[in-house]
Structures are given as C-alpha cells and as structure tokens.
Structure 1
C-alpha cells in the first residue's frame, strides 16, 4: 500500500487523479494539500473538500497551500481551460470564501512524522507549497520516501510559453528549489503527459460503469476538457491527463514509463526562457548519480496507460 499525499491545484486533471487515487486498491491517500494554480487557492481548496464529500471520504485531511508564487507576483489563472470554478461545467454548491486565511503546514508535517519514510508526495500543481514545506522544515521533509512532480518540458515546446510548461512557469523559483533540494525526485514532464490520452469512447466506457456521485462527474468534466483541447490542438484524439500520469508514476506500473537521470534546473531569472526546465540530453551524456540527480520520465506506453486507467475507473479490480 502506497501512502500518498497529493499536492494539487484541483482543476480538471487533478480531479481525475484524485478519483483514481481514491479508487485504487494500492493507494492510501492520507492527505491533500491544495494551493493556487489553475484557479485561486480558495476555489482549489473548496473543490477538494467537495470532491471528497461526494466520495464519502471526508476523513482525509485537506491542507491549505500557497496563494501566490514565491516571486510575490499575482498568479495567472486559466478559467478558459478549467472553467471558472476549476471543474469545467461543474459548480460546487459551497462558497469559496469559507476557505480563506487557512494556510497551515503543521498538519502536513504531522502526517509525514506519523508515517516516516513511507510517504510519497505527488505534486501536480505549482511547486510553491512543496518548496515552502522544504524551506520551513527540511528535517521533516527528509523523512519523505519519494517525490513526484508533474512539470517541465524536455526536448519539446511548452504549453504556457514557447519553452515553459505551466506548472514550472507558474513559479519557476519554487520549481528550481524543489529540483535542487529534493531527494528521490521524479519529474513527469509535458512531453510524456501530453501522450497520456483518453479518447471520448474511453470516457464513455468509464461513465457507463460509474457508481458514485464523484464518478458521475468524470464525463461532463472530461467532455468539457476535450472541447477545450480541440481548440488548443485541433485534431487531438483525446484529452491529456497530465496529473494522472504523474500519480501513476508513483505506483511503479511495469512498462509504463522509461526514465533517464539528469540534473535539472529551472530558469527563474531570465526574460525569454522564464520557467524553462533544463537538463543535458546531448549525445554522449548519460545518467548522473548523486543527491542532485532527478529521474525524468522520457516515454510513456499509451496502451499500458489506458488499460490501467480503465481497469481502475471502471471498477474491474
């Protein structure tokens, strides 16, 4: 059983990752840290509590994360991609104002200390909350077993700018800090997650097997996401589930990913390459070793990805 703490900004693909984690028999979701990103922190926090309520899992603690990047700049949100409330056409019947002024990392540290060397952190939003946690208590964070990030883009264009992926672009100072200071770190970048597709036919199959109020949201949310992506990338065959791919990396599914190990930096000072993730993949380079080495997912097997997602989300286990 994998003890997972999910760091999320609770947009559409975060919702699918959360649902998958709740349904997977080998995942023990022991907490969720919800911060700004796709939407503001209050909406993101509200969305997690709403989804957990639908799943009848209000026993899982929800921790309020960061409200803005480490630069102090106002964050940029993406209502055109994730909807005004972060969940596509779904509007949770809970006021977001209820979740203001609640940032508190003590619960996160308590969870890690109670499960020393067992916790796996999966960060699928901006890296701000995770960087703050490492800065506030490096001793406690040293007891985290593994960390997985959805972020960056290697050898491929970005989706926030020509070179930068949205999570790293949203707070490159934090992303660089995490990549430089986190042991046992795996990065699952855009060049891999963009291939983690579910087609409308597969979404319809999942919907036909839904058996809870939470699962009944999957189709309307992913239908919304599919239409968005048809505008962003006309002709794309499905919706990329970026955050779900990062969560699945933590489960060591045989054959799902191929990896390389490199040192990773994130450009956080320059103007033209702001947010770009950088690693050395020139011919002749090889896997690195040592505390600053990061395992980077380079390839994903789409058949294995789809088969596993359908197995979990159609209740076949």
Structure 2
C-alpha cells in the first residue's frame, strides 16, 4: 500500500484525484496539503476539508499550503475553468474565512518523520509549498521516498501560454527548485495528462453507480469542467484529468506510462518563456551526462487509464 501525501490546489481535477485516492484500496492517504493555485488558499483548504467530510474521513489532516508564489507576486486564478469556489457549481457549506490564519506545516514534517522512507508525495498544484518544505527542513524532506509532480509540457504546447503549463507557470521559480532538489522525482506533464480523458458517457456511467455523497459530487463538477473545456477546446471528447493522472502514476500501474530519463529545469527568469519546462531530448542524452536524472512520462496507454479509473471510481463503497 502506498503512503501518499497529496499537495493540491483543490479545484475540480484535484477533487477527482482526491476522490480516487480515497476510494483506491492501494492508497493510504496520510494528509492533504492544500494551497493557492486554481483558487485562493482559503477556498482550497475549505474544499479539501469539505470533500473529506463528505467521505467520512475526518481522520485525514488538511494542512495549510502557500498563499502566493515564492517571488511574492499576486497569484493568477482560473474561475472560468474551476468556478469561483473551485468546485464548479458546488458551494461547500463551510466558511472559508476560518482557514485564513491556519499554519500547520509542522504536521507535514512530523508525518514524514513518523514514516521514514515510506512517504510518496504527489504534487498536483503549484510547487510553492513543496519548495518551502525543502527550504525549511531539508533533513526531514530527504526521508521522502519519492515525489510525483503534475506539471510541465515537453515538446508540446502549454495550456496557459504557448509554452507553459499552469502549475509550472504559476510558480516557475518553485518548480525549478523542486525539480533540482527532489530525489526520485517523476514529472507527469501535459504530454500525457492531455490524453487522460474522461468522456461525458463515462461520467454518466460512474454517476449511475454512485451511492455516497462524495461519489455524487463527480458528475456535477465534471459536467461543469466539460463545458469549460468546450470553450477552451471546442470538440474535445472529454475532460483531461491532469491531477488524477499524477496520482495514478504513483501506483506503478502496469503499462500505464512510458518514461524517459532526463534532467528537468524550468525557465523562471522574467521572460516570454516563463514557466517553460526544459529537458534535453537530443540523441545520446538519456544518461543525463552523468547528472541525476528525473523521470518524465512521455506516453500514456489510454485504455489502461480508463479501465483503472472505472474500476476504482465505481467500487461499491468508499474504503473506510
């Protein structure tokens, strides 16, 4: 069983990733670290707590993440994609104001110390909080077993600018630092997450099997997400499950991904290419020229993806 700490900015695709993690019997979700990104930190924290409450999993701590990028600039949010509250049409009945002053990142370090070399970090939002954790306590962070990041776009277009993916663009400095610092790092970029689609027909099927409150959240938020994507990419078959794809990568599902080993850097100087993910794909570069390689997902088996998603999201009841 994988012991996972999920770093999120709890919008719609984060919510689907969280629901999947809660339902998958192969995952022991130790904590959710929720920061700014798709929405502000207070909404992100509230959404994570609300989802865990619906799932009856109040035993899983929600930790406060960062409020803005490392450079101190105001973050950019995406209400057109995730809704003003982050969960599409859903307004959680929890006041976001109660999360304004929460500071409990020390709990993160304690969880890692209690599970040395057993924790897998899956970061599906901005990299700011993860970078801060490394800056604050590198000795403890070295006890993390492995790290998976949803971010970047290698040799394909970005989704925020012509060259940049949203998570790397949102704090390119933090993304570059994490890619240089985290050992046993796997990057799950747009190359594969753009193909990790759930169609409306599949959403309807999953909804037909839904019995619990959190399972019944899936259809309304993904319907909203689909309509948003129809504006962005008219005719797209479904909604890309960027964050779910990263959680699934952590499970080493046979034949799901093909990987390349490369050193990953992120452009973070003020420039047209801010947030650009960079790796050397020239012939002869697979040994990273003697440097520590990162692992980049380059291909996804869409049939394996869909089969696993349907299996987990239609399990008869939530794992308690």
Bin for the TM-score computed over the shorter chain:
over 0.9
The answer on 1:52 being equivalent to 2:24 is no
Q: Kindly state the Cα deviation for residue 211 of structure 1 after the two structures are TM-superposed.
A: 1.5
Alignment-derived partner of residue 97 in structure 1: 97
Question: Secondary structure, in 3 states, of the residue corresponding to 1:260?
Answer: strand
Question: Secondary structure, in 3 states, of the residue corresponding to 1:271?
Answer: coil
Query: C-alpha separation between the residues in 2 aligned to 1:53 and 1:290?
Result: 47
| Structure 2: gaps (5+ residues) | none
1:190-229 deviation line (CA, Å, top 9, x unaligned):
1110000011110011001112101101000000000111
- CA 1:299–1:217 in 2, change beyond 3 Å: closer, same or farther? same
Q: Kindly state the Cα deviation for residue 102 of structure 1 after the two structures are TM-superposed.
A: 1.1
Query: C-alpha separation between the residues in 2 aligned to 1:103 and 1:166?
Result: 25
1:5-44 deviation line (CA, Å, top 9, x unaligned):
0000000000000000000001000101000000000000
Alignment-derived partner of residue 285 in structure 1: 285
Alignment-derived partner of residue 249 in structure 1: 249
Q: Kindly indicate whether the alpha-carbon contact (under 8 Å) linking 2:263 and 2:291 is maintained by their aligned counterparts in 1.
A: no
Query: C-alpha separation between the residues in 2 aligned to 1:11 and 1:206?
Result: 20
Q: Kindly state the Cα deviation for residue 81 of structure 1 after the two structures are TM-superposed.
A: 0.5
- CA 1:290–1:91 in 2, change beyond 3 Å: closer, same or farther? farther
Q: TM-score, normalised by structure 2?
A: 0.97
Q: Kindly indicate whether the alpha-carbon contact (under 8 Å) linking 2:126 and 2:171 is maintained by their aligned counterparts in 1.
A: yes
Alignment-derived partner of residue 85 in structure 1: 85
Query: C-alpha separation between the residues in 1 aligned to 2:117 and 2:290?
Result: 19
Alignment-derived partner of residue 273 in structure 1: 273
Q: TM-score, normalised by structure 1?
A: 0.98
Q: Kindly state the Cα deviation for residue 105 of structure 1 after the two structures are TM-superposed.
A: 1.4
Alignment-derived partner of residue 181 in structure 1: 181
The answer on 1:213 being equivalent to 2:213 is yes
Q: Kindly state the Cα deviation for residue 282 of structure 1 after the two structures are TM-superposed.
A: 2.0
Question: Please, what is the CA RMSD of the aligned residues?
Answer: 1.1
Alignment-derived partner of residue 140 in structure 1: 140
- The residue correspondences of 1:1-317 to structure 2 (distance < 5 A) are 1-288=1-288, 292-315=292-315
Q: Kindly state the Cα deviation for residue 291 of structure 1 after the two structures are TM-superposed.
A: 6.2
Query: C-alpha separation between the residues in 2 aligned to 1:290 and 1:143?
Result: 24
Q: Kindly state the Cα deviation for residue 152 of structure 1 after the two structures are TM-superposed.
A: 0.3
Q: Kindly state the Cα deviation for residue 293 of structure 1 after the two structures are TM-superposed.
A: 1.4
Q: Kindly state the Cα deviation for residue 289 of structure 1 after the two structures are TM-superposed.
A: 7.2
| Structure 1: gaps (5+ residues) | none
Query: C-alpha separation between the residues in 1 aligned to 2:204 and 2:221?
Result: 12
Question: Secondary structure, in 3 states, of the residue corresponding to 1:261?
Answer: strand
Query: C-alpha separation between the residues in 2 aligned to 1:110 and 1:55?
Result: 24
